[in-house]
Amino acid sequence: MPVYNKLVRDRIPEIIKNTGSQCSFKILNNEEYIHSLKQKGFEELNEYINSETNEEAIKELADLLEIIHALAEYHGSSFEKVEGIRKSKLEKRGGFKKKFYLIEVQ
């Protein structure tokens, strides 16, 4: 039987049960939850980095976005607030579309 020991999406236990399998899980406390969310963020980022097609990349970006939603909520905020801050930074400092790679400043 595979052992996962990782944070999974909310419906995964239900989906496993509906396939006729059984699983064990626990509800994390806040400290375990934030630690697991951060780990999951690295896991999903790594999966994005290693994606080989645009379709795979987009699916992994969606997973990263879900992690960002959960992290924002954990920190007492919302995705909309994070998006507002992103837009403000975009206006003040720009994005990354011009592909500038800073070498040095004198």
pLDDT in tens, the chain (106 residues): 789 999 999 999 999 999 999 999 999 999 999 999 999 999 999 999 999 999 999 999 999 999 999 999 999 999 999 999 999 999 999 999 999 999 999 9
Question: Measured between alpha carbons, how far is 73 from 55 in angstroms, rounded to an integer?
Answer: 28
**Predicted TM-score (pTM) of this structure:** 0.89
Distances (CA, A) of 52 to 23, 83, 86: 31, 28, 27
Distances (CA, A) of 15 to 18, 25, 104: 5, 13, 52
Structure confidence at residue 1 (pLDDT): 78
Structure confidence at residue 80 (pLDDT): 97
